[in-house]
Each structure stands twice: as structure tokens, then as C-alpha cells.
Structure 1
Amino acid sequence: MTLLKLKQATKTFGKGHTKVEALKATDFSVEAGEFVAIIGPSGSGKSTLLTIAGGLQSPTTGEVLINGNPFNGIKEKQRSKIRFSEIGFILQASNLIPFLTVADQLNLVDKVAKEAIKVQEQDRLLKDLGVMELKNKYPSDLSGGERQRVAIAKALYHNPSVILADEPTASLDSKRAFEVVEILAKETKDKQKATIMVTHDTRLTESCDHVYEMQDGVLSKVR
């Protein structure tokens, strides 16, 4: 089952002599259970593709489909609802709320979704990511690597069908980076998610089913 699909998606900024084609016409899809990596130099269009896939910006032309349903060209309220229920974002910056403990970061997801607090699921994720002992601490008490692992737990917690990870291991040491990628790979397979990871570290692509490279807004398959 195709969970994410881009059909001839493009993104252009500016006009005339300032025009920049950040993403040239791109067809791209990820199936349930697939873990895909996108590599390439800074400014090549990787993050642009990811933000379009996640509905944070709309393509200039083309289509984005989530679970076979249109994701661009719909009202922002509908897009926000799909983003919350179907997509988990893992960004370079942890984006944690400073006045909430680690546990409360996850509790907030339950409150927004109007669900009962899932303590068992919280504990499983925090344990897998090596931050269980930090459950009652605040972001200011954590190292950069610890904050990022909590952010990953937060992204996975509402069980999205699509995970979009933009340099998710940037602030982690090599050992923890490989562990985090293995967790993402396991979640992808076990729960049949579609995961796209943008990374500069090609060593981390060994766990991926497919690897793509972005150069000057052009996406090409490496393996």
C-alpha cells in the first residue's frame, strides 16, 4: 500500500532573475513498511521535498497524496488534521515545549487527540530510546542528544502512518545515532509505516530499503 506519493511535484521560489527551482518535477512514493533515505548536499532540495511531503508548504505544481487521499489543494484546517493524525515529524531542532516534562510532552499529544493517556506506550518508547529515566525532567535539564531522543518519541507516539525525519541524528554521537536509526527501521517494519529520513551521514543508510540522492532539486534513486 502506498502511504506517501508525490506526482510531478515542483517548488519554485522567486520570479525572473531571482527564480530558484528548489524542487524540479518529482515523482516519488513510499510504501507501507519501507524505510527510505534521501542524501545530498546542503541546499540541494532535500528539506524542501520533506516539507512538501508533510504539508508544511504546498508544491508550486503537482500533487501530494497521503494514504491515496489529496494532501495539497485542500483547506488548511483539513491539512492540519491530516498532519496531526497521519504524519510524525522529527526535525533537527527538538522543538520541545520548555515548561513541560518529558512525560507531559507526550501527554499533550493525547490531550489534543482527546484520548486517554497511554502510559504503557509512553514507557515503551522512552525505554527504547534510552530516556526512560528522564521522564519527569524538563527540556532544560537534558543534553542536546537527550532532547532529540525525546522529540523522536513524541513524533512516534501518536502512531502516524508516515514519518518524516530531517537529520534526526544530527545532535547524537555515532553509537546513539545508529541505535535511533535501528529504532526507526523497527517501527517502520513492525507497524508498517512509511519513513523518509534526510541525512548527511551515508553510514546510516544501511538500514534503509532504498536510498535516493538530491542534486539541484533533482531526485534520483541510488539503490
Structure 2
Amino acid sequence: MKLIEAEKISKVFTDGSQRITALEKTNFSVEASEFVAVIGPSGSGKSTLLTILGGLQQPSEGKVLINGNKFSEESDESRTKLRFKEIGFILQASNLVPFLKIEDQMRLVNKVTKSDYEEELVNDLFESLKISKLRNKYPKDLSGGERQRVAIARALFHDPSVILADEPTASLDTERAIEVVEILASETKNKEKATIMVTHDERLIGYCDKVYYMQDGKLKLDKEKSKKHKPDEKELNR
């Protein structure tokens, strides 16, 4: 089942009289339980693709569907509601609210989505991500890996069908990076989510089902790198 699908999406910017194509016409889809990586050089269009898929900017052409809903064609208000319901964002910087304790970061999600706080769900999520002992701490008291675990918990808290991760391991050492990607892979499989991870670190793509390469706004499936063996720590430390 396709949880997110892009049909002939493109993005063109204008700079005076010049037209800059950030994303060529692209067809792309990710199914339930599928973990996909998008790799490529800086400025190749990876983040543009991710922000369009997440509804943070509109495509110049084409459309994005989430769970069959014509996401990109909704009104701004409807698209915002659908985004909060269906998409979990994980960014390079954890973007935690500095003056809120970790458990209160989850309560903030409830306020934004106007839903009830589910204590049992929080407990289960914290336990699975091994952050229960952190619930009364502030972000400044956590390591980089711990902050990313909390960011993952926050992204998963409203049980989205799609996870969009933009360089989630860029600021982490090897051991923490492995942990974060393993968590994403596990959550994707166990909870039947569709996960798209933009990364510059090709050492982590062995955890992914498919690998796409992007250059000059063109996205292409890399069959050779897809389904590569899972890396061990020696390889990651090379």
C-alpha cells in the first residue's frame, strides 16, 4: 500500500529573468513498512523534494498524495491538519523547545493537535526508545543522541503514517548515528510506516530498503545501492 506518492512533481524558482529548476518532474512513492534513503550532493534538490512531500512548500507542477488524499491540492488549513495527522518530521537539529522538560515536549504536541494526552502511549514510546529516565530533564541536559531519540519520540507521538527525516544523524558520532537509524528502521517495519531519510552518509544506507540518488534536481533509483548488506561498526568507522 502506497502511503505517500508524488505524481510528476517539479519545482521551479525565478531569479529575475532566470528560471532555476530545483526539482525536475519526478514520480516517487513509498509503501507501508518501507524505509527509503535519498542521497546526493549538496544543492542537488534533496531538501526541496522532502519539503514538497511534507507540504512545507508547493510543487510548481504535479501533486502529492498521502494515504490516497490529494495532499498538495488541499487548502492551506486542510493541508496543515493533514500534515499534523499523517506526517512526522525529524530534522538534523532536534528542534526541541529549550524551556520544556522532555515529557512536556509531548504535551505540546497534544496542544497543537488539540488531542487528549495519552499517558500509556507516552510510557510505551519512551520505553521503546529508552528515554524514560529523561522525561523530567531539559534538552540542555541531554547528549546529541538523546536529543534525537526525543525528537523521534515527538515525531512518532501522534502515530503518523509517514516519517520524513532530513539529515537526522548529521550531528552525531558513529555509535549514536547507528542507534538513530536502527530506531527509524525498526519503527518503520514494526508500525508499518513509510519513512524517507535524506542523508549525506552513505554508510547508513544498508538499513534502507531502497536508495535513490539525486543530482541536479533529478531523482533516480540506485539499484546497486538498494538492498545493500547491513553495515557493521567497523565499516562505519572507516
The normalised TM-score by structure 2 is 0.88
Q: Which moved more, 1:3-12 or 1:110-119?
A: 110-119
Q: Distance between the aligned counterparts of 1:123 and 1:18, measured in 2?
A: 53
Q: Give 1:123's aligned residue.
A: 123
SS of the residue corresponding to residue 159 of structure 1 reads coil
Q: Is 1:211 aligned with 2:211? A: yes
Give me the CA root mean square deviation. Answer: 1.5
Unaligned runs of 5+ in 1: none
* Aligned pairs for 1:1-223 within 5 A: 1-15=1-15, 18-223=18-223
Deviation at 1:142, TM superposition (A): 2.4
The answer to whether the 8 Å contact 2:12/2:19 transfers is yes
Identity %: 62
Deviations along 1:80-133, one digit per CA (max 9) or x if unpaired, are: 000000000001121111221100001222333343322333233334334322
Q: Distance between the aligned counterparts of 2:50 and 2:219, measured in 1?
A: 12
The answer to whether the 8 Å contact 2:145/2:177 transfers is no
Change (3 A) 1:180 1:124: farther
Q: Distance between the aligned counterparts of 1:38 and 1:132, measured in 2?
A: 32
Residue correspondences, number: 223
Q: Distance between the aligned counterparts of 1:63 and 1:202, measured in 2?
A: 29
The answer to whether the 8 Å contact 2:12/2:60 transfers is yes
Deviation at 1:207, TM superposition (A): 1.2
Q: Distance between the aligned counterparts of 2:73 and 2:159, measured in 1?
A: 25
The answer to whether the 8 Å contact 1:123/1:132 transfers is yes
The answer to whether the 8 Å contact 2:148/2:180 transfers is no
Matched residue type, 1:38: V
Deviations along 1:136-184, one digit per CA (max 9) or x if unpaired, are: 1112222333322211111111110000000111122111211211111
Change (3 A) 1:74 1:116: closer
The answer to whether the 8 Å contact 1:9/1:64 transfers is yes
SS of the residue corresponding to residue 197 of structure 1 reads strand
Q: Distance between the aligned counterparts of 1:3 and 1:186, measured in 2?
A: 17
Q: Distance between the aligned counterparts of 1:192 and 1:17, measured in 2?
A: 46
After the TM superposition, list the runs of 4 or more consecutive aligned residues in structure 1 that deviate by more than 6 angstroms.
none
The normalised TM-score by structure 1 is 0.94
Deviation at 1:15, TM superposition (A): 4.6
SS of the residue corresponding to residue 117 of structure 1 reads coil
